[in-house]
Every structure is written in structure tokens, then in C-alpha cells.
A and B are shown apart, each in its own frame.
Chain A
Amino acid sequence: MRPDGAVVLVTGGSGGISAACAHALAADGWAVALTYRSNPTGAALTVEEIESAGGRAHGIAVDITDAAAPPKAFAAAQEALGGPVLGLVNNAGVRADDLAVSLSDDAWDLVVNTNLTAAFRFTRQALNGMVRARHGRVVNISSIVGLRASVGQSGYAAAKAGLIGFTRTAGAEVARRGVTVNAVAPGLIATAMTSDVVGEEKVRAIPARRTGTPDEVAAGVAFLASDAASYITATTLFIDGGLSA
């Protein structure tokens, strides 16, 4: 059982999916710490909304690609919200699209460092405390692009597929300590980050014939973070309207 006052840290806390995750996790009783880099206003708004709904939340300004960020963010979350950090949602992500034939080293590094390496470092930081506490939930936000081709996104695809592999092994390593590590792989979700790639043709290819909403992704994340999901680990939940079928 999750102890009272437990904190979940959500990285990239100013975007569409992270805000929805923050709300769903707060509604489920977690105190929510949100990291943000570029959008303090978005994170502050989410914190305010959670607080006015009776929940607890706190924004933390940090560049997650900085190797020193995880201990800083965890200490700040614990200090502001009191409880131990027993939940982690690795959501922060960037895209830098180009065909593999011309993708620059800088674009590759940016995407892999943010989407994969930072998630590894935050997970490592989280697992230390979770293993000792004999309870923990890590949810990595992967993507349908980790499984299916998406032209122009080979770097993003590599990072998101990497997250699925990382999730499997890290989950298996800590399973007997009551700590679960899972991934969620959203399909086409209507957010600011996908507005340029969602066209009619792409939507027709989705069995559900529509894009998903951030709330539909957040519902899966909140479930995997809950006590109810205690026997689910090292797996990936596709939330994609059937696109991966």
C-alpha cells in the first residue's frame, strides 16, 4: 500500500499530457511535484488548479538533461511536499525531426538525452528510495513511435523504443521490492506537441478514428501508479485507439 503523503514527481510538468497526469495523480491522492524548464506559467497554473481542488502540488524549475538534476529535483520535491518520492512519471520529451539521412548529431543528442538518458537518471534516483521503502511506481512515457515507423522521427523513435527496453529490464530488477516500472505508449494524442503531425489521413489509420486526449493517457498513468496495479510491472501499455494492433 502506498504510504500517506507519498509524492509523485512528473517531469516536463507544463505540457498537455503532464498536466493531465498531474491532475489524475492528485485526484488519486498523490502529492504532485512537477518539473518544468521552459514554461513556468503552465506549471504554476497546474499547481494552482490542483491546490484549488484540494490537492497538493509544487513546481520545480530544472533542466532534466543536467546530470545533477535528479538529486536536486527529488530533494526539492521532498522538502516542499513533505513525503517521500515514491512515484515518478518520466514524461518530459522533445522532438527534433529530420530524415535519418540528414539528422544532425545535435538533434540526435538532444532527443536521446532528453527522452531517454534523463529518464534513466531520474529512474535511477527514484529507485534508490523506492527499493528501500519497499514501494514505488515508475511510469515512463514512451510512444507508439517506439514501435511503428514515423517518417522523420528516427531519433525520437530510438529514444522511445529505448524506454520500452529500459522499462522491461529495470522493472524486472526491482520487482521483488514492491517497486513497479512500466511504460505507457500513447498513440496520436491531440496536444501542442503533435498539432503539426495530426492530419486527416493519419486519423483515418487509427481504428478508433480519432486522436486521443491527454486525459485518456493520464488515466492509464494513474492506474499504473496506483495500488491496484501492484502486480503489473516491466510492461508497456499502449493507449492508442488500436493503432498498434
Chain B
Amino acid sequence: MSTISSEHVEQVVIKAILDFGAESDQISRGASFEALDFDSLDLAELAQIVDEEFGVELKSGDLKNIKTVGQAIDLIAERAAA
């Protein structure tokens, strides 16, 4: 799974966040999911997308500790490389 780059993960995550209705100028690695008006359903859907794209299964416990877009990207990239 080492072929999955952090950039690829970032693209997928940002596309998902845009699909959920966030404005593109609000999205950055430092943006918090709270500021993006993310809720638990958005996170559950993001987990599904990540599972399909990268085969990385995120549990709801993992997601609770994620506060920012950058943290999500890093966690997914790290799991995908493992």
C-alpha cells in the first residue's frame, strides 16, 4: 500500500469535504472540522470514502480525536502506508 501518497489522500479528502458543502476557500490543512460545520454523519461518510479509496478502516474512536483536515490526511496516509 506504499503507493498511496499523502497528496492523493489530500485530494480525496478535500473533494469529499467540498461535496459535503464546504466552500473551497475555507479548506486548508489547518482548518478544523468544527469550523467546516462537519458533523458525525459527515465523518461517517468520509470514513466510508476512505475505506473504498484506500482500504483504510477508520473507527468512530479514531475520528473523535481528529480535529483538523491535516490531522485526518496524516492519519489516513499513515494507516494506508502501514
Cα A176 to Cα B20 with chains together (Å): 11
What does DSSP make chain A's interface, helix, strand, loop or mixed?
A: helix
User: Is the pair B48, A174 in contact by a Cβ cutoff of 8 Å?
Assistant: no
A 131-152 to B, binary, CB cutoff 8 A, 1 in contact else 0: 1100000000000000000000
Residues of chain A within 8 A (CB-CB) of B45 are 131-132
A59 to B52, CA, bound (A): 28
- B contacts with A, residue count (CB < 8 A): 5
Contacts of B48 in A (CB 8 A): 128, 131-132
Question: Shortest beta-carbon distance, B44 to chain A, in Å?
Answer: 8
Q: Which residues of A contact B82 (CB under 8 A)?
A: none
Q: Which of B41, B48, B49 has the most CB of A within 10 A?
A: B41
Tell me, in angstroms, the Cα distance from A177 to B44 when the chains sit together: 13
Q: What band does the interface of chain A fall in when counting residues whose beta carbon is under 8 Å from B?
A: under 10
Closest to A129 in B: B48
Which residues of the other chain, B, contact A131 by a CB distance below 8 angstroms? 41, 44-45, 48
Q: How far is the CB of B47 from chain A (nearest CB, A)?
A: 10
Within 8 A of B (CB), among A174-214: 174, 176-177
**B60 → chain A closest CB, angstroms:** 13
> Who on chain A is nearest to B45 by CB?
A131
What A residues does B41 contact at CB under 8 A? 131, 173-174, 176-177
With a cutoff of 8 Å between Cβ atoms, the chain B residues found around residue A174 in the complex are 41
Residues of B32-82 at the interface with A, using a CB-CB cut-off of 8 Å, are 41, 44-45, 48-49
A103-135 interface mask toward B, CB cutoff 8 Å, 1 = contact, 0 = none? 000000000000000000000000010011000
Query: Inside 8 A of A128's CB, which chain B residues have their CB?
Result: 48
- Of chain B, the residue at the smallest CB distance from A177 is B41
Whole-angstrom distance between the Cβ of A233 and the nearest chain B Cβ? 14
B19 to A: closest C-beta gap in Å: 9
CB-CB under 8 A from A177, the residues of chain B are 41
Q: State how many angstroms separate the Cβ of A120 from the closest Cβ of chain B.
A: 16
What residue of chain A has the Cβ atom nearest to residue B44's Cβ?
A131
Mask, A156-178, CB within 8 Å of B = 1, is 00000000000000000110110
CA distance A174 to B41 in the complex (A): 8
- Complex: A128 Cα to B47 Cα, angstroms: 11
**A176 surroundings in chain B (CB, below 8 A):** 41
Rounded to whole Å, the gap between the CB of A99 and the closest CB of chain B is 40
- How far apart sit A132 and B46, CA to CA, in the bound complex (Å)? 10
Query: Once the chains are docked, how many angstroms separate the CA of A232 from the CA of B45?
Result: 23
* Alpha-carbon distance between A176 and B49 when the two chains are bound, in angstroms: 18
Mark B residues whose CB is within 8 Å of A: 41, 44-45, 48-49
* Further pairs besides A131-B48, A132-B48, A132-B49: 7, Cβ < 8 Å: A128-B48, A131-B41, A132-B45, A173-B41, A174-B41, A176-B41, A177-B41
- Can you give 12 contacting A-B residue pairs, CB < 8 Å? A128-B48, A131-B41, A131-B44, A131-B45, A131-B48, A132-B45, A132-B48, A132-B49, A173-B41, A174-B41, A176-B41, A177-B41
Shortest 5 CB-CB distances between A and B: which pairs? A131-B45, A128-B48, A173-B41, A132-B45, A132-B48
